[in-house]
Amino acid sequence: MKTAAPPKHSKILILDFGSQYTQVIARRIRELQVYSEIVPYNIPLKEIVDLAPNGIILSGGPASVYDKGAPQIDKEIFSSGIPVLGICYGLMQMAHHLGGKVVFTGRREYGAGMLQINNGSQLFDGLGNQLDVWNSHGDEVTALPNGFAVAATTEGCNFAAVEDRQRKLYGLQFHPEVAHTPRGREILQNFVYHICHCAMDWTMGSFIEEACERVRAQVGDAKVVLGLSGGVDSSVTAALLHKAIGDQLTCIFVNNGLLRSREEEVVQRVFGENFHIKLKYVDASDRFLKKLRGIIDPEQKRKLIGNEFIDVFQHATEELLAEDRHRGAAGGGYKFLAQGTLYPDVIESVSIAGNPSQVIKSHHNVGGLPEKMHFELVEPVRQLFKDEVRQVGLQLGLPKEIVYRQPFPGPGLAVRILGEVTEERLSILRAADTIVQSEMEAADWYYKVWQSFAVLLPVQSVGVMGDQRTYENTVALRIVESQDGMTADWVRMPNEILARISNRICNEVRGVNRVVYDISSKPPSTIEWE
Ligand code: XMP
């Protein structure tokens, strides 16, 4: 399923040659309020014409144009009349296919450079004569194709920016999309607004209206069920669907007994009481805890929890049906299952050797549901990046505590309790977790980090309390920063905050006498401990 926006929108297509920055380019364009979509590099011109973009950006990529099997563009694209901006490998593609000369340098390095702008290119309108840029050196252009001129140089590169104004083809050796090119946004702006003539018509307000129309057209008067976890994606999906189809939506919230303290209250208050969304609350704690008894293997825990969730969810929809029948409600069963799938999950990833964006670990919490229950899917936010989903959530009136909450894994506290999950260990971890969360909030750090949480280790050690020797549990603190969860680093927290968290946990949580701070990055560690 393509994720094309309705044709009335301006649109930039991004051809993905496997750069780690492809999604960053797409986000930068959307920040300019222009819709952008990522497609594989080998998309034929015919399909591009059908999508009717105002302009095309060729991403960078890890290959050399001379590599065996190197990704090659359909070169007809260059004579289509659609403006093209090639970045790094994209520039090489342009030079290589249009008769210029590209040499293989055999090295791949990045570095800061100073760009000298020479010929008044529209790309650099309003940017003066010099710019800090972030270079990437792989292949290098050594001779330009016919019709091209140099637009800017750097010390090490005579062809840092090139252009063929007639054919509206532009190429950059450096990366305008990264933060290390501070005025890169303005370069992209010049391309998108002045060369491609895009209108600023991608706003979350218009998205909401259009998404509601699309949902109504898709589901008609059928019923939709949604597994609400309280996380950002399913919460925004719930609010959006509620706006679109009101009471045709029913959310199911499963308490698996592995939630944080008072989580179920927050979800019921926000969605049931404030939004008046039909919400079926299922307390299945006992079932989950029974299943988990004696299990210590992390993967086994995850599988058990996933399977159990599917069973509970299925049972809950059957109950909903029975309740409807009992009330004599009109309409058939629940034909649709809504999911908060986001754009990064649906981008067709290109497979290029050495492409770091390939190493993706996905977590499909309700992945088995559609197959098993013959649902059709409704995925109203599948066009959006996370930051856009948050904006939609705010515009729909969801509170900040939901919209900006930190990610929480589907298997919940079970993957933060190493060893067996028992009621007692859950209540120890819950108490410690509540302290971490409240201290992070009080110190204004909760929203600055990707995640901050406690992990209960299967390690006991000796301590002293008053005059008493203790022999009790260890809690590890995990506080990380990250862009997308794929890589992460531990946060250099102010010592006083760590000290306060540690003191409170040791003093207030019965059964814990030691707190340690996890100073590992991802990779090689992961964020969660299991
Ligand atoms: P890891 O532990 O793989 O986690 O470094 C990366 C990010 O994913 C979250 N995570 C999950 N999210 N279901 C989810 O929805 C899961 O099963 C799951 N496991 C890990 C984790 O909290 C981190 O943000």
| 45 domain residue, yes or no | yes
Structural domain tally of the chain?
A: 3
Q: How far apart are CA 160 and CA 141, in angstroms?
A: 9
Q: Which helix (H) or strand (E) holds 230?
A: none
Q: How far apart are CA 318 and CA 109, in angstroms?
A: 58
Question: Are 115 and 187 contained in the same domain?
Answer: yes
Identify the pLDDT of residue 6. Answer: 52
Q: Which two tokens stand for residue 50?
A: 């059908």
Percent of the chain with pLDDT over 70: 93
Is 409 close to ligand 1, i.e. is its CB under 6 Å away?
A: yes
Distance from residue 408's CA to the centre of ligand 1 (Å): 7
**Minimal CA–CA distance to 381: which of 520, 230, 213, 207?**
207
Distance from residue 528's CA to the centre of ligand 1 (Å): 7
Q: What is the mean pLDDT of residues 368-388?
A: 87
The CATH code of the domain that includes 319 is: 3.40.50.620
Residue 358 has pLDDT above 60, yes or no: no
Q: How far apart are CA 19 and CA 524, in angstroms?
A: 22
Q: How far apart are CA 530 and CA 526, in angstroms?
A: 8
Identify the pLDDT of residue 271. Answer: 96
Q: Which residue in 9, 97, 175, 242 is the catalytic one? A: 175
Residue 354 has pLDDT above 70, yes or no: no
Residue 112 has pLDDT above 50, yes or no: yes
Distance from residue 446's CA to the centre of ligand 1 (Å): 18
Identify the pLDDT of residue 104. Answer: 85
Identify the pLDDT of residue 348. Answer: 77
Identify the pLDDT of residue 110. Answer: 78
pLDDT per position as a tens digit, 204-231: 999 999 999 999 999 999 999 999 999 9
Residue 108 has pLDDT above 90, yes or no: no
Question: Are 189 and 301 contained in the same domain?
Answer: no
Question: Are 58 and 108 contained in the same domain?
Answer: yes
Confidence of residue 96 (pLDDT cuts 50, 70, 90): very high
Question: Are 303 and 366 contained in the same domain?
Answer: yes
Helices (H), 166-203: 184-189
Confidence of residue 484 (pLDDT cuts 50, 70, 90): confident
Question: Are 152 and 17 contained in the same domain?
Answer: yes
The CATH code of the domain that includes 107 is: 3.40.50.880
Question: Are 142 and 185 contained in the same domain?
Answer: yes
Is 527 close to ligand 1, i.e. is its CB under 6 Å away?
A: yes
Q: Which atom of ligand 1 is nearest to the CA of 229?
A: 15
Amino acid at 521: S
Q: Which of 147, 173, 195 is the last residue of a domain?
A: 195
Angle of the 495-508 helix axis to the 423-442 helix axis, nearest 10: 150
Q: Which residue in 163, 177, 439, 472 is the catalytic one? A: 177
Q: How far apart are CA 211 and CA 234, in angstroms?
A: 15
Question: Are 81 and 53 contained in the same domain?
Answer: yes
With tokens 């029975």, the residue in question is 322
At residue 411's C-alpha, the angle toward residues 409 and 412, to 5°, is 65
Beta-bridged to residue 489, according to DSSP, are 481
Identify the pLDDT of residue 367. Answer: 55
Which residue range forms the structural domain that includes residue 137? 11-195
Residue 498 has pLDDT above 90, yes or no: yes
Q: What is the mean pLDDT of residues 510-519?
A: 98
**Residue 175 DSSP SS3:** coil
Q: How far apart are CA 357 and CA 75, in angstroms?
A: 25
| 126 domain residue, yes or no | yes
Identify the pLDDT of residue 313. Answer: 96
| 6 domain residue, yes or no | no
Question: Are 315 and 464 contained in the same domain?
Answer: no
| 366 domain residue, yes or no | yes
Is 181 close to ligand 1, i.e. is its CB under 6 Å away?
A: no
Structural contact between residues 504 and 514, judged by C-beta atoms closer than 8 angstroms = no
Residue with CA nearest ligand 1 atom 9: 409
Running DSSP on this structure, what letter comes out for residue 259? P
- The verdict on whether 180 is a catalytic residue reads no
| pTM tops 0.85, yes or no | yes
Q: Which atom of ligand 1 is nearest to the CA of 364?
A: 13
| 530 domain residue, yes or no | no
- The verdict on whether 175 is a catalytic residue reads yes
- The verdict on whether 196 is a catalytic residue reads no
Choose between 369 and 75: higher pLDDT. 75
| 3 domain residue, yes or no | no
Confidence of residue 364 (pLDDT cuts 50, 70, 90): very low
Structural contact between residues 338 and 226, judged by C-beta atoms closer than 8 angstroms = yes
Distance from residue 360's CA to the centre of ligand 1 (Å): 12
| 464 domain residue, yes or no | yes
Amino acid at 122: Q
| 342 domain residue, yes or no | yes
